[in-house]
Structure 1
Amino acid sequence: MATVTRTETAAGRRAPRPRADALRNRERIVAAAREMFVESGPEVPLDEIARRAGVGNATLYRHFADRDELIHHVVVSVMSRSTDQAEAATAEEADAFEALRRFVHAAADERIGALCPMLSGAFDKEHPDLLAARERLEVAVGGLMERARRSGRLRDDVAVGDLLVGLSQLTRPLPGSACMNFDQFVHRHLHIFLDGLEAPARSVLPGSPATLEDLRRES
């Protein structure tokens, strides 16, 4: 019994294409990992991820050879999905700050806090897929912020790194937290955060704006 369908490759040969159920399993694994990386960090047991995804351990390992491959795929997926949200907000919202606000809340729902492994020294930050996804995200979010700044709605002393750090911190439970209902406060606290980004500024921020290069620099 055939387990794959076939599709033409660029070279004209037929190559296997994953079955629909295999694709659904892969998507469930990535979604479960995305949730659990936010809740418990990237070291969460893989069998717990499989259990939440509703698949067996063997299914998880058929799709992802090891933890590093799964983490890589989750990070690239979250960046891509968040970029899609930024581009949609830019295209569909006439008010520049409301576009930024829409992106922040949408990125929270995309579990952008799962990008925290990018800041780990052990994470492969130079993989071509990652570099392409990261550049696309930086351009999209930077464009959102620049548009809001030009409209006079975004304060001048913040940068993309400030936005992404705040967003990541406010969408992750505190370490060791027993707050199982953390999600109910996320969008409320993001709204408070966004009020602090809006111009005119009500205070002078200490230090200098956080750039993405600052975030990538190893301590």
Structure 2
Amino acid sequence: MTTAATEPVRPVETVARAPKLRADATRNRERIVLAARDAFVEHGADVPLDEIAKRAGVGNATLYRNFPDRASLIREVALLVKNRILALAETAAAEADAPDGGGPFEALERFAHAAVAEKVGALCPVFTHHVDPFDPDLTEARERLMSAVSGLMERARAAGELRADVDHGDLFIAISQLTRPLPGTSCQLLDGFVHRHLQLFLDGLRAPARSVLPGRAATFEDFQPRD
């Protein structure tokens, strides 16, 4: 009969290490995804995975243990970027009516200036050619983003701060174009001008309108995947 005194004791050292290993694994995965995002921005979808592992400070085996192929890594980057932009939009929407928030248009401006940091324009070709547009997780993030930004713009319009002839698609076209590198230039070179030109665009969204815009307003429906 085994007594409490003779019962084998699990080493305390082993118990303490398990959470640390899980935390390290989580950090490694996050570093890989962030490094991949930056590498895809600079070099496109075909950047060597070895280069991504080197940027992340992990071994090749760690990268492949988390992402067995390029497609799974690109999907994770797409989810990261969309969810980060979604979080920015939902924060701005929550701040729009706060007493010290400056009003809905100021919240919209803060969102736009924060969103360009994700460089979605530079990543758009990567996502277009390598990510399933009907992925349910990406679809959910896209729909929530549409709801948050649409609501924010409607409140700015109702407050008389946003011109009546623009829509959410117009805003995202500007964000995309301003974060898409021009041929023959580097992303780093353009970084110094993005916020300047974005503010010029945002000033053009303010009511009252200074001119009549040709065509129709762009909406999120214009960006929806087609069967």
For the pair 1:60 / 2:68, whether they are aligned, the reply is no
TM-superposed CA distance for 1:115, in Å, is: 5.3
Partner Cα distance (1:57, 1:145) in 2: 45
Listed as ranges, the gaps of 5+ residues in structure 2 are 1-13, 96-100
What letter is aligned with 1:71? I
Any conservation in 1 of the 2:42–2:187 contact (CA below 8 Å)?
no
- CA deviation string 1:13-65 (max 9, x = no partner): xxxx9711111111111112222333333333322222222222222211112
Structure 2: distance between partners of 1:191 and 1:134: 24
Contact 2:44 2:126 in 1 (8 A): no
Of the three residues 98, 123, 136, the one matched with 1:128 is 136
CA contact (8 A) 1:35 1:111 kept: no
Alignment check: 8 A CA contact 2:81 2:118 kept: yes
User: Once superposed, what is the RMSD of the aligned Cα atoms?
Assistant: 2.7
Q: Does the alignment pair 1:213 with 2:221?
A: yes
Structure 1: tracts of 5 or more residues without a match? 7-16
Percent identical pairs in the alignment equals: 60
Alpha-carbon deviations, 1:173-197, whole Å to 9, x = none?
A: 2233246432122211211121122
State how far apart, in whole Å, the 2-side matches of 1:116 and 1:184 are: 21
Query: 1:63-212 maps to which residues of 2 (within 5 A)?
Result: 63-92=66-95, 93-113=101-121, 116-117=124-125, 120=128, 123-178=131-186, 180-212=188-220
State the partner residue of 1:22: 25
Q: 1:71 to 1:86 in 2, by over 3 A?
A: same
Max Rg structure? 2
Aligned length: 209
Looking at structure 1, the residues matched to 183 and 172 of structure 2 have their Cα atoms a distance apart, in angstroms, of: 19
Quote how far apart the aligned CAs of 1:110 are.
3.3
Greater share of helix: 2
